[in-house]
Amino acid sequence: MNEQNSLTLITRDPARFDPLALDQLEATSRLEGMDRVVGLPDLHAGNGIAVGAAFWSQKRIWPHLVGSDIGCGMALWETSLAVRKFRVGKVDRKLQGLDEPWDGPVEHALAEAGLPPELASPALGTIGGGNHFVEFQRIEEVVASDRIAELGLKDDRVLMMVHSGSRGLGQAILQEQMASHGTEGLHDGTPDADVYLKRHNQAVRWAVVSRKVIANRFLDALGMSGNCLLDIVHNSVTRHRRGWLHRKGAAPADCGLVVIPGSRGDFSYLVEPLHDRAEDALCSLAHGAGRKWSRKDAHARLSRRFRVTDLQRTKLSSHVICEDRRLIFEEAPEAYKDIAGVIADLEAAGLVRVIARLRPMLSYKTRAS
Contacts for 9-17: CB closer than 8 Å, 24+ residues apart = 9/38, 9/39, 9/43, 10/38, 10/39, 10/40, 10/41, 10/280, 10/281, 10/286, 10/345, 10/346, 10/349, 10/351, 11/39, 11/41, 11/43, 11/345, 12/344, 12/345, 12/348, 16/341, 17/43
Does the annotation mark 287 as catalytic? yes
Q: Which of 64, 200, 246, 287 is catalytic?
A: 287
Judge contact between 110 and 119, C-beta under 8 A: yes
Q: Could you please report the per-residue DSSP string of 11-65?
A: -S-GGGS-HHHHHHHHHHHTSTT--EEEEEEEEE--SSS-EEEEEEESSEE-HHH
The whole-angstrom separation of Cα 153 and Cα 147 is 9
**Ramachandran angles phi, psi of 170, nearest 5°:** -60, -35
The residues that are catalytic are: 287
